Amino acid sequence: MTIRVAVIGAGAIARRGHLPALKLLEKGGLVETVAVVDIVEESAKRVAKEFDIPRYFTDYREMLGAVEPDIVIICTPTPTHFNIAKDCIEHSHLLIEKPLCIKLSEALTLRNLARKSNRVVGEVYNYRYFSAVLRALKRVREGYLGRLVSIHGTYFAHFPVAWTRATWLYHERGVLYDGLPHMIDIMLLMGNGKPMRISAFGGDMLEDAGFINHANFIVELDNRVFLTGANSWIIGATFNFTLELHGTGGFAYLDVRGDTYREYHGTRTLVHDLFYMKDELIDFMRSVLGGKYFVGALAHYPILLRQFLRGVEKKGKVPVSIDDSIERLIILEGIVYSIENKETAHRKVLLEKAEKESLEQG
């Protein structure tokens, strides 16, 4: 059976990630892209033409009634996710770009609505499919690093001024909603626990930007794995997304963007580094010659979409379900809470507060 998919938002991530992946899956007869929606008619029209999509709309509500898609992919700016998702969830399953919503309470509302209408909601995390990340995950899960004690991550990027001209990212939570969700996703994947306590420092480090542009945080998981991280738009080392995994049996360095993984046990020597450099050079040449290097994380959309489709058809697990998304949002919400209130955020308190707000949202 062919699954009918509609895409809301015809921006960069739809054009470069979702739609090429859907096109690929269409060839296998798995899906059919039935409509694209964008508030800018010109964009919707251009994208529909570029990807041979039969219909385009400027209002997603109109689209829902007209084409009745099985799945809706939401790739609009984050602040709009919740309202669009709330309207769509009765009609179809949802795949939403990260982060799922701005607030934890919104995610709880969505979960309740999804349960009521028996819909699947998934979130897009494509960085977890890098081969280095998958290798690290395998090594951690199989115990090659012994017992995992802590994970330290850094995600540094420049203010989003060029690529997407994403001025919508300059809301009060700013940098936290840029690349950090990817980092938290991989950290939780490795740490395999639930966040219990979150402490964070930082905020607006400029004169008067009005949004968080730097944060350092510590998260304690229920299995006593500690996550620490630095996330910034102001550090002079941009496009840096790295993780250090600290286990009782060894130490690993994971460069997510560079797709490289190094593991050290005992004494780290120059000889180890030289051999790793040799392997990385070979991998780099291969990825350049194979063209994968130039696509980066966008190359993982077909895998992600295929997994989501299997989840919808109940043939497999959704890669990131709404329950997983809530765990990720607890950390984001906890960081904001801790920075604003200058105190540690506790899971229970965050959830109670969010549930109250969710009830108010109806």
Partner 1 sequence: MKKSIVGVVRASSYNVEYLTKRIQKVVEYIGGCNEVGNYDKIVIKINMCDAREPNTGAITHPKFLEAVLRWIREENRGAEVFVVESDATRTLADLYIRWFGYLKIMEKYRAKWVNLTEAPKKRERFKKLKIFREFDVPEVFYDAFFITLPKLKTNILSDITCCLKNQYGCLPIVNKDIYHRVLSRAIAELNVIFRPSLCIVDGIIAMGGAQGPAFGVPIPAKIIICGRDPVAVDAFAAKYIGFNPRKVKHIKVAAKLGVGSLKYRVVGEKIRKINFENRRWEFIAFKLGIKRQLRAWSAYRYSWRGRR
Q: Output phi, psi for 70, to 5 deg.
A: -80, -40
Cβ of residue 330: shortest distance to partner 1, in angstroms?
Answer: 27
Closest CA to 81 of 66, 64, 98: 98
- Torsion angle, CA of 248/249/250/255, rounded to 10 degrees? -80
Residue 132 C-beta: closest distance to partner 1, Å: 18
Q: Which run of H or E residues covers position 346?
A: strand 345-346
Nearer to partner 1, 61 or 147 (CB): 147
The smaller minimum CB distance to partner 1, of residues 118 and 267, is found at: 267
Residue 250 CB, shortest distance to partner 1, in Å, is 7
CB of 277 to partner 1, least distance (A): 14
The smaller minimum CB distance to partner 1, of residues 84 and 145, is found at 145
State the minimum distance, in angstroms, from the CB of residue 147 to partner 1.
Answer: 4
| Neighbouring residues of 238: CB distance < 8 A, sequence distance ≥ 6 | 156, 157, 158
Shortest distance (Å) from residue 278 CB to partner 1: 11
Return the number of the residue (225 or 345) whose C-beta is nearest partner 1. 225
Between 158 and 265, name the residue whose CB sits nearer to partner 1.
Answer: 265
Contact 213, 231 (CB under 8 A): no
Size of the chain in residues: 362
Give, in order, the Cα–Cα distances in Å from 227 to each of 201, 272, 346, 353: 14, 26, 15, 23
Own/partner long-range contacts of 11-17 (Cβ < 8 Å, ≥24 apart): 11/38, 11/43, 11/75, 11/76, 11/164, 12/163, 12/164, 13/75, 13/97, 13/164, 14/47, 14/73, 14/75, 15/47, 15/50, 16/298, 17/75, 17/126, 17/298, 17/301
Q: Among residues 142 and 343, whose Cβ is nearest to partner 1?
A: 142
Q: If DSSP states are collapsed to H, E and C, what string results for 156-198?
A: ECCCCCCCCCCHHHCCCCHHHHCCHHHHHHHHHHHHCCCEEEE
In angstroms, give the least distance from the CB of 109 to partner 1: 40
CA dist 222 and 346 (Å) reads 12
Cα atoms in the 13 Å half-sphere on the side-chain side of 286: 8
Query: Judged by CB, which is closer to partner 1: 1, or 271?
Result: 271
Backbone phi, psi, residue 144, to 5°: -70, -20
Helix (H) and strand (E) counts in the chain: 13, 14
The least CB distance from residue 97 to partner 1, in Å, is 36
Query: Smaller CB distance to partner 1: residue 275 or 294?
Result: 275
Q: How far is the CB of 256 from partner 1 (least distance, A)?
A: 23
Binding site for partner 1 (CB under 8 A): 142-147, 248-250, 263, 265-267, 269-272, 275
Q: By C-beta, is 143 or 210 nearer to partner 1?
A: 143
